[in-house]
């Protein structure tokens, strides 16, 4: 078996990055500069490399946007950041896609639009990105950017919860506890609170105790505890 090829040194990257079409090397060099790995090089040098690589690489376009968003190596400019995130997102970069959705959600660098935010989060949710699935669940739960639909909210919370997204687990448990979007079910509520609590969430622990004090039967508690013990997060 061939041994894995060693990563190029920074000196090697600097030589390779001088060639106009070595986009990956330009991106990697930019990351070294951005992370402060090279003395006498800073974020402005990183931005120069990212812009070179951005001619071909969506991840480099995203990093250009991040530099503008943070004011790293250039003057802070939310509109310019959004423009570069848009380029990267249109080319399929998932991190940039999430940031475009967040920009629309909060009105950063673009006019606020819950409808546009929903549309961009949905792109990722359909690809099983759990953070986006939670956002879509909340959109249906609150009627932001789409119709109010508790059943649809529960569907998306469950998708994210099954992948280990803690806030989705807590919110899903609350839906079962209150009977929102699904029949009231103390076993399912206790299960999802318990799974979140196993990750150290204190709020979930308190909700579990509250359910017990409301009079869950021993058989229901045992059933819920067995579900918690058996739970394994799915992978996308």
Q: Assign residue 227 the CATH number of its domain.
A: 1.25.40.10
Query: How far does the chain reach from its first CA to its final CA, in angstroms?
Result: 30
135/107 same-domain check: no
Q: How many domains does the chain have?
A: 2
d(CA 125, CA 5): 35
CB 172 within 8 A of CB 183: no
CB 104 within 8 A of CB 120: yes
89/134 same-domain check: no
pLDDT tier at 5, thresholds 50, 70, 90: low
**Residue 125 domain-assigned?**
no
51/104 same-domain check: yes
Tell me the backbone φ, ψ of residue 233, rounded to 5 degrees: -60, 140
Mean per-residue pLDDT of the chain: 95
Which of 77, 112, 147 terminates a domain? The answer is 112
Average pLDDT of span 61-83: 98
d(CA 150, CA 157): 10
Amino acid 236: pLDDT:
73
pLDDT tier at 55, thresholds 50, 70, 90: very high
188/103 same-domain check: no
pLDDT digits (tens, 9 = 90+) for 14-51: 998 888 889 999 999 999 999 999 998 999 999 999 99
Share of the chain above pLDDT 70, in %: 98
pLDDT digits (tens, 9 = 90+) for 139-165: 999 999 999 999 999 999 999 999 999
pLDDT digits (tens, 9 = 90+) for 185-199: 999 999 999 999 998
And the tokens for 139? 């959109």
**Residue 122 domain-assigned?**
no
**Residue 140 domain-assigned?**
yes
Report the residue count for the chain.
236
Average pLDDT of span 169-194: 97
Res. 2: pLDDT tops 90:
no
d(CA 44, CA 33): 9
DSSP code at position 181:
S
pLDDT digits (tens, 9 = 90+) for 215-235: 899 999 999 999 999 999 998
Amino acid 20: pLDDT:
80
Domain containing residue 26: 21-112
pLDDT tier at 208, thresholds 50, 70, 90: very high
179/207 same-domain check: yes
**Residue 123 domain-assigned?**
no
Amino acid 16: pLDDT:
87
Res. 214: pLDDT tops 90:
no
157/89 same-domain check: no
And the tokens for 151? 């059943």
Amino acid 7: pLDDT:
79
144/223 same-domain check: yes
d(CA 41, CA 59): 21
Helical segments of the chain, H only: 10-17, 23-34, 43-53, 58-70, 78-90, 94-106, 114-125, 130-142, 150-162, 166-178, 186-197, 202-213, 218-230
CB 184 within 8 A of CB 178: yes
CB 98 within 8 A of CB 124: yes
**Residue 156 domain-assigned?**
yes
Q: Which has the closest alpha carbon to 166: 140, 200, 132?
A: 200
**Cβ atoms within 10 A of the Cβ of 173, count?**
27
């Amino acid at each position: 078996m061939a041994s894995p090829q060693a990563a190029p040194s920074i000196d090697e990257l600097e030589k390779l990055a001088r060639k106009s079409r070595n986009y990956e090397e330009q991106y990697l060099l930019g990351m070294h500069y951005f992370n402060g790995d090279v003395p006498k090089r800073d974020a402005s040098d990183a931005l120069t490399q990212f812009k070179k690589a951005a001619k071909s690489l969506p991840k480099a376009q995203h990093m250009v946007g991040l530099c503008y968003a943070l004011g790293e190596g250039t003057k802070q400019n939310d509109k310019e950041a959004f423009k570069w995130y848009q380029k990267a997102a249109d080319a399929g970069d998932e991190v940039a896609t999430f940031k475009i959705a967040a920009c629309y959600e909060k009105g950063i660098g673009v006019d606020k639009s819950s409808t546009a935010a929903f549309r961009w989060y949905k792109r990722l949710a359909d690809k099983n990105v759990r953070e986006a699935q939670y956002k879509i669940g909340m959109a249906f739960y609150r009627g932001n950017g789409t119709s109010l639909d508790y059943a649809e909210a529960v569907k998306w919370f469950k998708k994210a919860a099954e992948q280990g997204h803690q806030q989705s687990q807590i919110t899903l448990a609350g839906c079962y506890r209150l009977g929102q979007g699904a029949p009231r079910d103390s076993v399912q509520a206790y299960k999802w609170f318990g799974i979140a609590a196993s990750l150290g969430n204190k709020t979930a622990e308190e909700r579990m105790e509250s359910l017990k004090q409301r009079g869950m039967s021993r058989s229901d508690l045992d059933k819920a505890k067995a579900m918690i013990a058996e739970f394994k997060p799915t992978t996308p």
